[in-house]
Amino acid sequence: MICILRRLITDNKVEPYTEHRQKYEVDQMKNFTGKSACKGVAIGRAFVLTGHDNDVRKWHIDDTEKEKKRFFHAKSISISQLNDIYEKAVAGTGKENAQIFKAHILIMEDAEFVNSVINLIEEQSVNAEYAIKAVADRYEGIFASMEDSYMRERAADIRDIAGRLMENLSGQGRVSDSVEGQVILCAEELSPSETVQLDKEHVVAFVTAYGSLNSHMAILARSMNIPAIIGVGQDFLHEISNGDRLAVDGYTGRIWIAPDEETIERIENKKREDEQKKALLDELKGKENITLDGRTIDIFANIGSVKQLKDALDVGAGGIGLFRSEFLYLESSDYPTEEQQFTVYKKVLQSMKEKKVIIRTLDIGADKQVSYFHLEKEENPALGYRAIRICLTRPELFKTQLRALYRASVFGKLGIMFPMIISVTEVEKIKVICEEVKKELSEENIPYSEQVELGIMIETPAAAIISDRLAKMVDFFSVGTNDLTQYTLACDRQNAAIEQFADTHHEAVLRLIELAAKNAHENGVWIGICGELAADTSLTETFLRMGIDELSVSPVFLLQVRDAVRKITLL
């Protein structure tokens, strides 16, 4: 098995896909209420995602032959799934990056692995789930103890293989797995990486038992324009099964199980109204972002992947105001290489032609955790080891990303943005590292552009307060209103219990934005907003009067912001 992994596992890994299971209708309509994280309505079948419990239960099996057949059946389904995924991955990311799935297939067919599972079932008369977990734990321990860091990280692949087998034994699926028809994803919670991998073609809404309206999960749902209701409670999950018909109203926060005809008709009517409103906004495609008194405003798009470029271009985004590079890390099983990152950044820049593209350096930490980073558990991760703090203390990791960015810079108009800044010293260190990277590239005769803009995010009160000094060191500011609100109001954005206190329109938050705008312009740099408030059209005029030069929003909100700008006069 170790030989297989050494030969075939590559640095990239695409999240696997599976099918949802048995459909089941409840006899009587029931409804639940949660908090609306994203407006919209949907009707579809429930796809219930359950957490994967590391503590797999062990039980005695009388018929070991039947249990072995269960294992072989799950193995067969898993291999079939992986073959399908391999073909999709080859088409989407190339043969080299798809090899991970071939490696997973070879491990599942590996005689040593299979015989170890079968022997446990036969000799101890145990269930297949327990046998798989026990064998996987043993292999995982072997890899985890290796000196070679690359091979140590392969323990994650063993976990993934075991997880797939156990999911197919139990009939449970995973969030990124392909499903048939229109489904409504139901789960306790979703991580940011799980949320961003939702297949919008099939997942028409999601409902979670827990969660905060200000979490990255909710923010990403809004950016994807998927109707979402959170905080419904655990009882909801106990009431549903895979295949139940659900109706979701993201305007009211209500969900119906087995909705009656009257409820379905009401939801369908709302859906038609939404489509009519969208058609009116579509008429703004190709129009200018200009106020009634003639002031032109840049309206850019926030994206997290190459796939979202089409959405940004379709609505006429003036550029990319925020490319969330951390999703390259969240969607990978190992550190993305310089070449892998370069390919992605080059694609974004080429696609946007001469339009500005601002790529944020990795913003890992807090609720965006990546196992292979091996971050220590923190009591308060929002205030902990994250974003630029990781980059400045792991310079080689930082340099790999910067090399990829500078190499890509010759293919378009690039801006690099650094998150979680609190001091002048940090910016000084960043600029030194950037110069080192440029020098290395020059010595290697690798071209890069000298016109790359460097900017920082204003998302801490510290950065806003000293923005007069920071503005002298950079080319632009971009306000991250989500974290700025969290830190200014001392309200953990993940804590649903204090949402009522997290007032995004709070005077203190708006004053800090205005201060940063004033200091930016006095020092000759431009300032944008890339946080959620940029899409809040009730504040559009306020921001323009502050002097904000650019608003960067999810593509789904861009036409709404354009509409708001075109109705404003600043005279």
Active site members: 216, 530
Spatial CB neighbours of 63, under 8 Å, sequence gap ≥ 6: none
**The token pair that represents 528 in the structure block:** 């944008």
Alpha-carbon span 408 to 415, nearest angstrom? 11
Angstrom distances, CA of residue 172 to CA of 205, 235, 336: 19, 19, 29
Please choose, from the candidates 49, 82, 78, 72, the residue with its C-alpha nearest in 3D space to the C-alpha of residue 131: 72
Other beta carbons less than 10 A from residue 379's beta carbon: 6
Contact (CB, 8 A) for 12 and 332: yes
Half-sphere exposure for 270 (CA within 13 Å, toward CB): 18
Identify the H or E element spanning 187: strand 183-187
Alpha-carbon span 571 to 568, nearest angstrom? 9
Alpha-carbon span 88 to 195, nearest angstrom? 20
Alpha-carbon span 137 to 76, nearest angstrom? 21
Half-sphere exposure for 274 (CA within 13 Å, toward CB): 17
| Strands 183-187 and 41-48, bridge-based pairing | parallel
Alpha-carbon span 391 to 10, nearest angstrom? 24
Alpha-carbon span 14 to 19, nearest angstrom? 16
Alpha-carbon span 227 to 556, nearest angstrom? 12
Alpha-carbon span 377 to 379, nearest angstrom? 7
Alpha-carbon span 512 to 485, nearest angstrom? 10
**The token pair that represents 193 in the structure block:** 């990486």
Alpha-carbon span 59 to 2, nearest angstrom? 30
Angstrom distances, CA of residue 516 to CA of 136, 417, 421, 423, 486: 53, 16, 13, 14, 17
Please choose, from the candidates 67, 274, 84, the residue with its C-alpha nearest in 3D space to the C-alpha of residue 177: 84
